[in-house]
Amino acid sequence: MPSGNPFSWRFVAPLYMGSTLNPINSSMIATALVPIAAFMHVSAAQTTILVTVLYLASSIAQPTAGKLSEEFGPRRVFLAGILMVLLGGLLGGFGRDSTMLVVSRILIGIGTSTAYPSAMLLIRRRAESSGMSKPPGNVLGALQIAGVVTSAVGLPIGGVLVDAWGWRTTFLVNIPFALVALVMATFWIPKDVKMKGTKTVREISSRIDITGVALFAVTIAALMAFLFSLPRPEWSVLGLSVVLGILLIWWELRAKHPFIDVRMLASNLALTRTYVRFASLMLCLYTVLYGVTEWIGAARGTSALEAGLLILPMSVLSALVVGPISKRNLVRGPLIVAAGSCIVASIGVLFLTTTTPIIWILLITLIFGVTMGTMSSSNQTALYMQVSADQIGTASGLFRTFGYIGSIASSALIGIVFRTKVSDSGLHHIAIIMIAVSVIALVMTSADRRLKVINQEASSATS
C-alpha cells in the first residue's frame, strides 16, 4: 500500500497527460484538413476520413483497452498505447500519401485510447488499497478535465500550429508529449502485479473474449458507417449493424468471460442510463464545438483559429466547474444543472443570427461550458460508484465509446442540416433538436431514483 498521499503528483501526472492526447487529437485535425487536401491534391471532403478513422479506432479501442488492462495490467497497456502514439506521430509527421496519414490516425486513435480506461483502473485500485471509502473526487475531476474538457482546446492549438508551421505539426506535436508521458509512466507508475503461471493462447483468448471484441468492432464500424452516410442513408449498413448487434448480444450472453457484460448492463440499468445521458449531452456539446464553429466561420466569415478561440472560454469555464463538483462527489444535482443549462443554451442558439453581437455568442458558449463541466464530472462519479473494481476498466472504455457515438451523431446532424448551405435557419433547426435532446436528458435524470441513492452513499462516505 502506498505511504503518505496515495495520489501523489508523480502517480497522477502521467495519467493526466496521457488522457489529454485523445480528445485533443480528435479536434486538432479539423484545422489541418484544408492544407492536407492541398498537399495531397484531393478535395477537403476526402480528407475527412482522417477524422472518421480516429473516431472509429477510438470507439473500439477504449473498451478493448479497458478489458486488456483488467487482464494484463493497466501500466502495461498504458505504456503500449504511448508507444503507438509515438509511432503514429512519426508516421503522420513524415507521411507522403493519404494511406500513411490514415494509418497514422488509426495508431494515434488506438494508442491514445489506452490512457483513460487504464487510468480509471489504476485510480480505483490505488483507492481501494489505501482503504478509501469514497471516490477520490479531486483525482477523478482532474482526469475528467484532461479527458473531456480539453477537447475544445484542440481547435485553437491546431489553428496556431497549422498557421505557424504547417499541417504536419498536428501529427508531430504528439511526439514530445508522448515521450514525456512514457518517461513519467515508466518511473512513476508502480509496476503491475506479475501474471501468475503461463497461459495458453486459447486461455488468453477466452479471458479477453477475442470473438466478443471482434463482433463489437464490426458492429460499431457498421453503425458509424451508417451515421457518416447521412444525409444519404445506407439502410443496408444500418440493417447490418442491427444484425451484428444481435449476434454480439447472443455471443456475450454465452461467453464465460464476456467482453461486454450484457447481463450486467441489463441488471444495472443505472449504469446504462449513465451511458445514455453521457451520449445525449455529448451530442449537444460536440454540435456546439463543430456546428456552431462552422456557422461562425461560414456565416460570419471568421477564420478557423478565431472560431476556435471563441469556443476556448467554454473549455476554461467547464474546467473550473469540474473541480468543486468532483471534490464533493456530487452527482444528481449537477446532472440536473447540466441538462437544464443545455436547454437554456440551446434556446439561445435558436435566436442566433449573423448580426448577433459576438458577446452574446460568447455568453451562450459559456453556458454550454457549465453543461460540459457538470455533465462530465457527475457522470464519471456515477460510473465509478456503479461498477466494481474488476469491471471499471471495460466500463470506463465503454463510457467513452458512448461519448464518441454522441459526437458522431452530432457530425451526422450537422452534415444533414448544413448539407447545401450553412445558414441561420439551419442553425436554428439544429437548436430545436438540441433542445429536444436536452429535455429528454433532464427528464431521464430527474426520474432516476438510483441517482438519489448514489448521492446519499457519496455524502455518507464524505462525512
Q: Please list the pLDDT of the chain residue by residue as tens digits (463 residues).
A: 445 688 899 999 999 999 999 888 887 887 788 788 888 888 766 787 888 888 889 988 999 999 999 888 999 999 999 999 999 999 999 988 889 999 999 999 999 999 999 999 999 999 988 888 788 888 998 888 887 667 767 777 887 888 889 899 999 999 999 999 999 999 999 998 876 655 666 676 767 788 888 998 899 889 878 877 776 778 899 899 999 999 999 999 988 888 888 888 888 888 999 999 999 999 999 888 778 877 887 777 776 667 767 777 888 898 889 888 988 888 899 999 999 999 999 999 999 988 888 899 899 999 999 999 999 889 999 999 888 888 899 899 999 889 888 888 887 888 788 877 888 898 999 999 999 999 999 999 998 888 877 766 665 554 4
- Three-state SS sequence of the chain: CCCCCCCCHHHHHHHHHHHHHHHHHHHHHHHHHHHHHHHHCCCHHHHCHHHHHHHHHHHHHHHHHHHHHHHHCHHHHHHHHHHHHHHHHHHHHCCCCHHHHHHHHHHHHHHHHCHHHHHHHHHHHHHHHCCCCCCCHHHHHHHHHHHCHHHHHHHHHHHHHHHHHCCCHHHHCHHHHHHHHHHHHHHHCCCCCCCCCCCCHHHHHHHHCHHHHHHHHHHHHHHHHHHHHCCCCCHHHHHHHHHHHHHHHHHHHHCCCCCCCHHHHHHCHHHHHHHHHHHHHHHHHHHHHHHHHHHHHHHHCCCHHHHHHHHHHHHHHHHHHHHHHHHCCCCHHHHHHHHHHHHHHHHHHHCCCCCCCHHHHHHHHHHHHHHHHHHHHHHHHHHHHHCCCCCHHHHHHHHHHHHHHHHHHHHHHHHHHCCCCCCHHHHHHHHHHHHHHHHHHHHHHHCCHHHHHHHHHHHHHHC
Residue 149 has what pLDDT?
65
CA–CA gap between residue 171 and residue 103 (Å, rounded): 12
Please report the pLDDT score of residue 12 as a whole number.
Answer: 93
The Cα–Cα gap between 157 and 160 comes to: 5
For 136-139, the CB contacts below 8 A with 24+ separation are 136/7, 137/326, 137/327, 137/328, 137/329, 137/381, 138/7, 138/323, 138/326, 138/327, 139/7, 139/12
Give the HSE-up count for residue 288: Cα atoms under 13 Å, Cβ half-sphere: 34
Distances from the Cα of 349 to the Cα of 23, 149, 282, 322, 341, angstroms = 24, 21, 16, 24, 12
CATH number of the domain located at residue range(s) 9-209+255-462 in this protein: 1.20.1250.20
Q: Which three cell numbers stand for residue 249?
A: 448480444
The rounded distance, in Å, linking the Cα atoms of 182 and 82 is 6
φ and ψ at residue 447, rounded to 5 degrees: -90, 0
User: What is the pLDDT, as a whole number, of residue 423?
Assistant: 86
User: What is the C-alpha separation between 242 and 248, in angstroms, rounded?
Assistant: 10
Domain boundaries, the chain: 9-209+255-462
Q: Judging by beta carbons within 10 Å of its beta carbon (0-12, 13-18, 19+), is residue 133 exposed, middle or buried? A: exposed
Output the nine-digit C-alpha cell for 276: 445514455
Q: Tell me the pTM.
A: 0.86
pLDDT value at residue 303: 67
Cβ-proximal residues to 463 (8 Å cutoff; 6+ apart), any chain: none
**Cα separation, 223 vs 244, whole angstroms:** 10
Residue 335 has a pLDDT of 95
